[in-house]
Amino acid sequence: MEIIIAKDYDSVCELAAEILTGVVAANPDATLGLATGSTPLGVYARLVSAVSDGALSLAGCKSFNLDEYVGAGVNDAHSYAYYMRENLFGKTDIDPRNTHLPLGTAPDLAAECERYTALLAANRRDIQLLGLGSDGHIAFNEPNTPFDSHTHVAELAESTVKDNSRLFANPDDVPRYALTMGIADIMDARKILILACGANKAQAVRGMVKGEVDERMPASVLQRHADVTVILDEAAAELL
Ligand code: GLP
């Protein structure tokens, strides 16, 4: 694992945007694995600026997102599909037909998981961007998710529901289930870029980087990947 400790959130996003831009510069048809949450917002803002300045084009890229809330429709303001359109897809030259997320409103969730797993297998990601849950989850793979898992329906941990409730007016509206790429799908990416900021991530960062590789700490699996870059701000790195 390469570990970079940046001064603050802006520096984390700057470095992450440079790495993603470098992947697309080297291969304009790159397949990108994308994440949601608050952390990547500054990265996406930089990619949007780079595209509008003509310094970057995503026109040849394909993208695959990590996860989606069960029951969230693509036009629901809390859905990750909506987030991606608002923060990246709708503001860049990526072809919307080349952007993929699991469908939270699929009538048959098991079939949707199978469809997404097969799609991922046919489209290996050149780079996978990740955030980190305060309990060590990656995507919505909560503690004790098997390392050999593929796309599945996950029940969110209580701590995750609590973390996510800041984004909902009514805490009872926070979804309890999500469709998520599995850990094996994430590990299949050629390169992984994981970002964590803030003191509430420090314990999970320590487990990811220095802890035992154990299903109780999902992000610890990344120690087994050959090409991982971890970018932290000083607060998230404080227990290293
Ligand atoms: C959610 C997402 C994760 C994300 C995590 C951390 O649980 N499913 O992919 O990494 O939140 O989010 P944030 O960056 O907002 O702290």
**At residue 116, does pLDDT exceed 90?**
yes
Spell 125-160 as b/e; 16+ CB within 10 A means b: bbbbbbbbbbbbbbbbbbbebebebbbbebebbeeb
pLDDT band at 171 (very low <50, low <70, confident <90, very high): confident
**In this prediction, what percent of the chain has a pLDDT beyond 70?**
100
Within 10 A of 163 (CB to CB), how many other CB atoms are there? 19
Better pLDDT: 173 or 221: 221
Interval 28-55 mean pLDDT? 98
State the distance from the centre of ligand 1 to the C-alpha of 67, rounded, in angstroms: 10
Q: Which residues are bridge partners to 48 per DSSP?
A: none
**Cα 218 to ligand 1 centre (Å):** 13
Contact 66, 95 (CB under 8 A): no
Phi, psi of 64 (to 5 degrees): -135, 120
Q: What is the pLDDT of residue 172?
A: 86
% pLDDT > 90, the chain: 95
User: Which pLDDT band, with edges at 50, 70 and 90, does 145 fall under?
Assistant: very high
Question: 49-71 burial string, b = 16+ CB within 10 Å, else e?
Answer: ebbeeeebebeebbbbbbbbbbe
Show the tokens assigned to 16. 């992450």
pLDDT score recorded for residue 202? 98
CA end-to-end span of the chain, whole Å? 13
Give the residue from 74, 76, 6 showing the smallest Cα distance to 39: 6
Neighbours of 215 (CB within 10 A): 16
Cβ of 39 below 6 Å from ligand 1: yes
Ligand 1 neighbourhood includes 35 CB (under 6 angstroms) = yes
Check residues 110 and 172 and name the one with the higher pLDDT: 110
- Is pLDDT of 139 > 90? yes
E strands, 7-161, where?
Answer: 31-34, 62-65, 67-69, 99-100, 127-130, 152-155
Which pLDDT band holds residue 159 (cuts at 50, 70, 90)? Answer: very high
Local structure of 172: helix, strand or coil = helix
- Among 65, 69, 101, 132, residue to substitute to test ligand 1 (most atoms within 8 Å of Cβ): 132
* Mean pLDDT value of segment 26-48: 98
By mean pLDDT, which of 23-37, 74-88, 98-112, 152-166 is the weakest?
A: 152-166
**Catalytic site residues?**
67, 135, 137, 142
* Centroid of ligand 1 to alpha carbon of 96 (angstroms): 23
Tell me: the pLDDT tens digits for 15-36? 999 999 999 999 999 999 999 9
pLDDT at 179: 98
Cα-to-centroid distance, 3 and ligand 1 (Å): 19
pLDDT value at residue 230: 98
Q: Is the confidence at residue 167, as pLDDT, over 90?
A: no
Tell me: pLDDT of 210 over 90.
Answer: yes
Question: In terms of C-beta density within 10 A (0-12 exposed, 13-18 middle, 19 or more buried), how is residue 1 classed?
Answer: middle
Ligand 1 mean position to 163 CA, how many Å?
9
Residue 166 confidence (pLDDT): 87
Residue nearest to atom 8 of ligand 1 (CA): 139
Of 38, 166, 179, the residue with max ligand 1 atoms within 8 A of its CB, to mutate for a pocket test, comes to 38
Q: Which atom of ligand 1 is nearest to the CA of 198?
A: 16
Averaged pLDDT score across all residues of the chain: 97
Pocket test for ligand 1, best of 44, 137, 179 (most atoms within 8 A of CB): 137
Q: What confidence tier does 170 reach under pLDDT thresholds 50, 70, 90? A: confident
Task: Return the residue whose CA atom lies nearest to atom 12 of ligand 1.
Answer: 37
